[in-house]
Amino acid sequence: MAPQEIPSEPPPSYESSAKPSAVSGAAGGPAKPAGPRPPLPLNLPALVKLRGKRVILASASPRRRQLLAQIGLNKIEVIPSSFAEDFSKSLSPFEYVVQTATQKAISVYEQEIDNEEKGDPALLIAADTVVVSHYGEILEKPRSEVDHLRMLKMLRDTGPHKVYTAVAVMVPLEGGQSPGYALETHVEETSVTFDSNVTDDLILAYVRTREGADKAGGYGIQGLGAILIEGINGSYDCVVGLPLRATLQLIEKILTPDEEGDIDAFAFDG
C-alpha cells in the first residue's frame, strides 16, 4: 500500500477555523465576514488515489451526489443507469436492493468501459433504496397522487416501517481477469416511525408539494417530509438514499487491498 500523502502545509488552527473569514467589500471597502471556513477534504489514501480520476455515480439522485461531496467526491460524473429495476417483489428486501444496485453498477460499467474519449472509470458507485411497510410490502416511487396518498396513510397507520439502501462500488481490473471488475456491496437497514397524529389534510398537502413523487415510499426525510416522521432507528443517510459511512468503507476496501496486492483481495460480494 502506498504511504498516505502528507499535506505540504499544516491545517489551520482551531482558533482560525472558528473565526469567519473576511471578504473585501466593493470598490476596496471594508471586509465583510463570509461565514466559517469550510472543512479541509479528508486526506485518506483511498480518496487521495481518486483525485483527478474519473469517478462515476450511476444515479441521477442529487441527494446521493450531495452526500458524496461531503467526503470530498465533489467532481463526480453522473451517468444514471438504464437498468429496468424490475426484479420480482418475491425477493427479500435485502436481495432486491442489493441485486438492483449491482445491476445498476454493471450496466453503467459495460457502457463506459473502454471509453476512448474519457478513459476507464477509476471508481463507479451505484445505489438502490426501497421502503418496506410494516407488513412487508416493498414500496418504490408512487405511481399517481392516489397511490401516493394510500402509501403515506398506510405508513402512518401501520407502525414502524423499514428503509433498505444497497450500495455497490466497482473498479475495473487490469489484465483481463474475469469478470473484468472488482465489486463490493453493502446493505443498510433503518427503521422509521411516522407520527400517528399526522392528519389526512397534512398528508394531502404534502403529496401536492410533489417532493416525494420521485422517492421510494413517497417522502423525503431530508426535506419537508420530516414533518411526517416521529423518529428513526438506524442511519439517517440510509433513509436519504446513501449510507455515507458504509460507502466510504467500501471505497477504502476496494481501493486499498492487502499489502501483498493479490487480486484475491477484491472479493466479489454480490
* Length in residues, the chain: 270
* Choice among 114, 128, 147, 201 that is catalytic: 128
Active site residue 128: yes
Give the closest residue to 241 by CA, choosing from 213, 227, 222, 268: 222
C-alpha cell at 190: 433503518
Q: Name the burial class of residue 252, with classes exposed (0-12), middle (13-18) and buried (19+) by CB atoms within 10 angstroms of its CB.
A: middle
* Beta-bridge mates of residue 162: 132, 191
Cα gap 81→267, rounded to integer Å? 23
Residues with a known catalytic role: 128
